[in-house]
Chain A
Amino acid sequence: GAVVSQHPSWVICKSGTSVKIECRSLDFQATTMFWYRQFPKQSLMLMATSNEGSKATYEQGVEKDKFLINHASLTLSTLTVTSAHPEDSSFYICSARDNQGARGYTFGSGTRLTVV
C-alpha cells in the first residue's frame, strides 16, 4: 500500500529558529501533498496544499511567510516553520494522494514540534 514518510517525528527548537519537516511518498508519486496542524484532542486543520512545481495554496489565516512550503519533486514536500515561537508548538501532519486512483489520502506519522 501507499506509504508516506515524515521526518523528524519530533523536534525541540529554540524560539526564533527555523525548523524543516520533510514529507516523502515512498512508493508512489504525489502531485499534491497536504499539510495539517493538530492541537491536542482536536481534529486536523488543513494549513496548505502543496503542488509539485508550483506555489502552495494556503488556507485562510495561515501565514505564508511563517510556514514555507516547497514541493520540489513528485515524492518530496517540505514545511519550514520560520522564526518559530512557542505558540507554533503543535503536531504537524502531511498527507498525499496517489495519482493513480481515486483512493483515500495517505498520512505521514506526524511531527511533534516543541518550541522553547
Chain B
Amino acid sequence: QKEVEQDPGPLSVPEGAIVSLNCTYSNSAFQYFMWYRQYSRKGPELLMYTYSSGNKEDGRFTAQVDKSSKYISLFIRDSQPSDSATYLCAMKTPNFGNEKLTFGTGTRLTIIP
C-alpha cells in the first residue's frame, strides 16, 4: 500500500463548476500537507500549505484536512480553463531531520470552456 493515494483521473469538469480533489494517506505521522499545481513541462507550484485539521481558504481555493480520517481535499470554486493542470498532494512529518516530501500520483484536471 502506498503511503499517499490519489486518483490520477483524468477529471474533466465544465467551466464554473466546483472541483474536488482528494488524497488519502496511511502514515499518521504526517502533519504538514500541501497542494501543488503543475502545468505540463513545468515544475510544481505551491497552492496551499496546511498543518492542522480544518479548512484553509485562499481565493478560489480551499484546502481541507481531516486527520482522524487521514483524508485531505482541495476545492476549487468557479473553475477556469487556466486551472487545467495536474494537481499533486504532498505531505511531510514534523521530523525536521527528515525533510522528505511524500507525493501523491497527481490528478490531471481539465476545465472545459
Contacts and interface: CB of A to CB of B under 8 A. Distances in A.
Contact of A110 (B32, B43, B49): B43
B32 A44 contact: no
Interface of B: 8, 32, 34, 36, 41-46, 49, 51, 88, 90, 99-101, 103-106, 108
Contacts of A46: 100-101
Nearest to A97: B99
Contact of B41 (A34, A97, A112): A112
A34 B104 contact: no
Central interface residue in A95, A104, A105, A106, by most chain B CB within 10 Å: A104
Interface residues of A, number: 24
Interface of A: 4, 6, 32, 34, 41-44, 46, 49, 91, 93, 95, 97, 102-110, 112
A73 to B, nearest CB: 18
A43 B32 contact: no
A72 to B, nearest CB: 19
B101 A105 contact: yes
Given A43-B88, A110-B41, A102 B101 contact: no
B34 A104 contact: yes
A104 B42 CA distance: 17
